[in-house]
């Protein structure tokens, strides 16, 4: 990536210049990998966790934990109520998601590794998506009394619509139809272990990359944020698109300060021209 090391602030002219540099890097890429966090989905109306208006300003993190979900019927009832409210108006992919899908179709990106659970990359048309923290599009049986942050269910799995329909029919905390165990979204909660194999798959994809573009993440949540860090250490060019500083700005080859949708769509237009 012939960009040198540069940080571009979110003034319109400089952001445009950053998008141009990113576009040039993507035009040369043959196996780029995008690494995405909550910031790519805020433009779709999904709140992030850590910013000033993020979820943590309104909810307590421990209320989202795996062990609380297992232990407390009230927590599960509240989780389903909130989920039904969120999905009554399903979020839609924004120009950032669509740009990444277009870059994959054009052979510039090999895939996306995401910290998000919203399924918007797939909805935008991305084909290879590694979801580090699972997906809220599905639900699974986690057994009656799973321990140590690991689901221990009977294998029952369904689309989220199944659970929302049960909720609509009056079950505030729908249980497993096969074994009576607890049913939970396949999104990974706090205190829950990542699903087996997912981190390995993401690591393989990132290791084979010729460019890593980290988008909409402050790159602070581990182990996920270790992936772009490892890529940078291995000499893979790293570009960062985020509207606030990240923990890897110092080691990145290019930092573009700006909104993901605007920067990525401008860069994709240039890369695919």
Catalytic residues: 133
User: What does the alpha-carbon distance between residue 63 and residue 235 come to, in Å, rounded to a whole number?
Assistant: 40
State the nearest-atom distance from the C-beta of 68 to Zn ion, in Å. 20
Asked whether the beta carbons of 89 and 113 are under 8 A apart, the reply is no
Query: Which has the closest alpha carbon to 31: 114, 128, 110, 130?
Result: 110
Does 176 bind Zn ion (CB under 5 A)? Our answer is yes
Does 142 bind Zn ion (CB under 5 A)? Our answer is no
Does 168 bind Zn ion (CB under 5 A)? Our answer is no
State the nearest-atom distance from the C-beta of 65 to Zn ion, in Å. 21
Q: Is the CB of 174 or the CB of 258 nearer to Zn ion?
A: 174
State the nearest-atom distance from the C-beta of 143 to Zn ion, in Å. 7
Helices (H), the chain: 12-28, 66-71, 73-87, 95-105, 120-124, 160-168, 198-207, 226-233, 260-271
State the nearest-atom distance from the C-beta of 56 to Zn ion, in Å. 32
Q: Is the CB of 9 or the CB of 152 nearer to Zn ion?
A: 152
Candidates 20-28, 112-120, 156-164, 263-271; binding stretch for Zn ion (CB under 5 A) = 156-164
Does 77 bind Zn ion (CB under 5 A)? Our answer is no
> Which residues are within 8 A (CB) of 161 and not within 5 positions of it... i.e. 6 or more apart?
none
Does 156 bind Zn ion (CB under 5 A)? Our answer is yes
State the nearest-atom distance from the C-beta of 266 to Zn ion, in Å. 47
Residues linked to residue 15 through DSSP beta bridges, in sequence order: none
Does 141 bind Zn ion (CB under 5 A)? Our answer is yes
> Which residues are within 8 A (CB) of 140 and not within 5 positions of it... i.e. 6 or more apart?
151, 153, 156, 157, 158, 183, 184, 186
- Which of 31, 77, 123, 154: binder of Zn ion (CB under 5 A)? 154
Cα–chain center distance at 63: 21
Candidates 33-41, 99-107, 140-148, 239-247; binding stretch for Zn ion (CB under 5 A) = 140-148
CA atoms within 13 A on the CB side of 13: 0
Site for Zn ion in 177-216 (CB under 5 A): 178-179, 181
Candidates 75-83, 91-99, 101-109, 133-141; binding stretch for Zn ion (CB under 5 A) = 133-141
Q: Is the CB of 56 or the CB of 156 nearer to Zn ion?
A: 156
Q: How many residues bind to Zn ion according to rule CB under 5 A?
A: 8
Candidates 112-120, 145-153, 208-216, 244-252; binding stretch for Zn ion (CB under 5 A) = 145-153
> Which residues are within 8 A (CB) of 49 and not within 5 positions of it... i.e. 6 or more apart?
38, 55, 56
Write out the two tokens for 43. Answer: 């433009």
Q: How many residues does the chain have?
A: 273
Binding site for Zn ion (CB under 5 A): 141, 153-154, 156, 176, 178-179, 181
């Amino acid at each position: 990536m012939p960009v040198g090391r540069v940080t571009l602030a979110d003034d319109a002219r400089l952001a445009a210049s950053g998008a141009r540099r990113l576009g040039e890097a993507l035009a040369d890429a043959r196996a780029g990998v995008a690494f995405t966090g909550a910031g790519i989905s805020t433009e779709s109306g999904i709140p992030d966790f850590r910013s000033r208006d993020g979820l943590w300003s309104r909810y307590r993190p421990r209320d989202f934990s795996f062990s609380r979900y297992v232990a407390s019927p009230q927590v599960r009832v509240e989780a389903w109520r909130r989920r039904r409210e969120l999905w009554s108006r399903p979020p839609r992919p924004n120009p950032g998601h669509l740009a990444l899908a277009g870059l994959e179709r054009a052979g510039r990106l090999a895939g996306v590794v995401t910290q998000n659970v919203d399924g918007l990359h797939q909805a935008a048309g991305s084909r290879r998506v590694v979801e580090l923290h699972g997906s809220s599009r599905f639900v699974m049986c986690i057994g009656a009394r799973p321990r140590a942050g690991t689901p221990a269910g009977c294998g029952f799995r369904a689309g989220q619509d199944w659970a929302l329909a049960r909720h609509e029919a009056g079950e505030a905390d729908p249980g497993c139809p096969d074994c009576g165990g607890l049913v939970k979204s396949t999104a990974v909660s706090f205190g829950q272990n990542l699903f087996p194999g997912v981190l390995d798959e993401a690591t393989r994809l990132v290791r084979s990359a010729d460019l890593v573009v980290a988008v909409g993440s402050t790159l602070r949540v581990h182990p996920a944020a270790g992936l772009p860090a490892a890529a940078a250490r291995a000499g893979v060019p790293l570009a960062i698109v985020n509207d606030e500083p990240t923990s890897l700005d110092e080691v990145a080859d290019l930092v573009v300060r700006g909104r993901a949708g605007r920067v990525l769509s401008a860069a994709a237009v240039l890369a695919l021209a």
